[in-house]
Amino acid sequence: MLIREILDVITEGKFIMPELRKDPVLGRWVIISTERGKRPLSNGKFDMERKGGFCPFCGGNESHTPSEVLAYRSDGSAKDTQGWTLRVVPNKYPALQIEGALSREGEGIYDRMSGVGAHEVILESPDHDMTLAKMAEKDIENVFWAYRDRVLDLKKDKRFKYILIFKNEGEAAGASLEHTHSQLIALPIVPKRTSEMIAGAKAYFNYKERCVYCDIIQQEKDEGTRIIEENNHFIALAPFASRFPFESIILPKQHSAFFEEGQKQQFEQLARVLKSVLSKMDRALEIPPYNMMIHTSPFYENTAEHFHWHIEIIPKLTSLAGFEWGTGFYINPVPPEEAAQFLRQP
């Protein structure tokens, strides 16, 4: 039985408000959201295939998504009509609800919070056959501008503390629609992994009075073995302690804690380095599914000196999976030096 069928039984068609719950031992927040489970993700089939070729994300099908919150249109076309090159819409099956006050409550030893947040979809192209790797650099740059525009807008809402920007490419990476898109989730909490990253970077800074990511960049440039790609503003690396085969990170060379403070010239070069890394992945790994995410600073923490924003890309190679999911402990069969070399080869 599919999760979706189970949910139909469980919820009896009723709407259940999403909520955030905190693990009392690990301090990790989790979103419990039945709406999310109702999205039409079938057993091993993209929605599009099931529906005989119809895709709600294609240009011309604007009426099949919620109304857009942002669109780039160079032809002066009207809102929610064809003519856009990039479009941002609320997620039809959101993990969180945008309306409502942020309430917290205890329940004995447990903590919960109302599931208030934004969940948006960035349609990167109107063309169904496009992928981020294949897009023109200029169009990839626009994806970053759209991320930035949405972050700056959502930052005004004082209920939110963090925005998670991520992309699931391919069904095995969790995408329910084939058409190229990314997502953002604005959260009233800071995810545990983000907090840990910032705490780790801060501890290093307190000890060394230097940014750990800046030191990583320096050492990687000296060694050279884990560099995948580089330009004036960015460096792409296979991390020293990679958890997954062909995992990579893209770091700005100039220290900066906030993705959204990126400058025009930076985004141009970011688009270039990302296209290059994704193209290398597509070539070497035969167009793998992947997860991409932006690690940036929470809004209300003074991270300027010690945190350094970056992008993480994890190809999901189907012949490997398993207990890492449950245990949080990773075994990686591909040394990052070898992964970088394999990706670098022309």
| Residue from 8, 21, 80, 299 in contact with a copy of itself (CB under 8 A) | 21
How far apart CA 169 and CA 229 sit, in angstroms, is: 21
Structural contact between residues 88 and 57, judged by C-beta atoms closer than 8 angstroms: no
Tokens of 77: 């076309």
| Residue from 188, 309, 316, 340 in contact with a copy of itself (CB under 8 A) | 316
Structural contact between residues 180 and 142, judged by C-beta atoms closer than 8 angstroms: no
DSSP conformational letter for 116: B
1 binds a copy of itself (CB under 8 A): yes
Q: To the nearest whole angstrom, how small is the minimum distance from the Cβ of residue 76 to a copy of itself?
A: 35
Judged by CB under 8 A, the stretch of 35-43, 59-67, 125-133, 263-271 that binds a copy of itself is: 35-43
Judged by CB under 8 A, the stretch of 52-60, 218-226, 228-236, 252-260 that binds a copy of itself is: 218-226
23 binds a copy of itself (CB under 8 A): yes
C-beta closer to a copy of itself: residue 99 or 222: 222
206 binds a copy of itself (CB under 8 A): no
Amino acid sitting at position 337: E
Q: To the nearest whole angstrom, how small is the minimum distance from the Cβ of residue 90 to a copy of itself?
A: 16
How many residues contact a copy of itself, by CB under 8 A?
96
Residues found in the chain: 346
Q: Which is the catalytic residue, given 119, 179, 181, 310?
A: 181
Q: To the nearest whole angstrom, how small is the minimum distance from the Cβ of residue 3 to a copy of itself?
A: 5
First to last CA, the chain: 45
C-beta closer to a copy of itself: residue 264 or 329: 329
Structural contact between residues 141 and 268, judged by C-beta atoms closer than 8 angstroms: yes
| Residue from 73, 161, 192, 255 in contact with a copy of itself (CB under 8 A) | 192
Q: Binders of a copy of itself among 101-140, rule CB under 8 A?
A: 108-110
Judged by CB under 8 A, the stretch of 121-129, 134-142, 148-156, 290-298 that binds a copy of itself is: 290-298
224 binds a copy of itself (CB under 8 A): no
253 binds a copy of itself (CB under 8 A): no
How far apart CA 281 and CA 287 sit, in angstroms, is: 7
β-strand partners of 97 = 116
How far apart CA 76 and CA 175 sit, in angstroms, is: 31
197 binds a copy of itself (CB under 8 A): yes
Based on the residue annotation, tell me whether 255 is a catalytic residue of this protein. Answer: no
| Residue from 28, 134, 159, 161 in contact with a copy of itself (CB under 8 A) | 28
Judged by CB under 8 A, the stretch of 76-84, 136-144, 173-181, 268-276 that binds a copy of itself is: 173-181
Q: Is 120 helix (H, G, I), strand (E, B) or coil?
A: strand
Q: Binders of a copy of itself among 58-97, rule CB under 8 A?
A: 95
Q: To the nearest whole angstrom, how small is the minimum distance from the Cβ of residue 212 to a copy of itself?
A: 6
Listed in sequence order, the residues at least 6 apart from 93 whose beta carbon sits closer than 8 Å to its beta carbon are 35, 36, 38, 39
Measuring CA to CA, how many Å separate 120 from each of 97, 147, 204, 327, 332?
Answer: 11, 10, 35, 30, 33
DSSP letter for each residue of 226-240: TEEEE-SSEEEE--T
Structural contact between residues 239 and 336, judged by C-beta atoms closer than 8 angstroms: yes
Residues annotated as part of the active site: 181
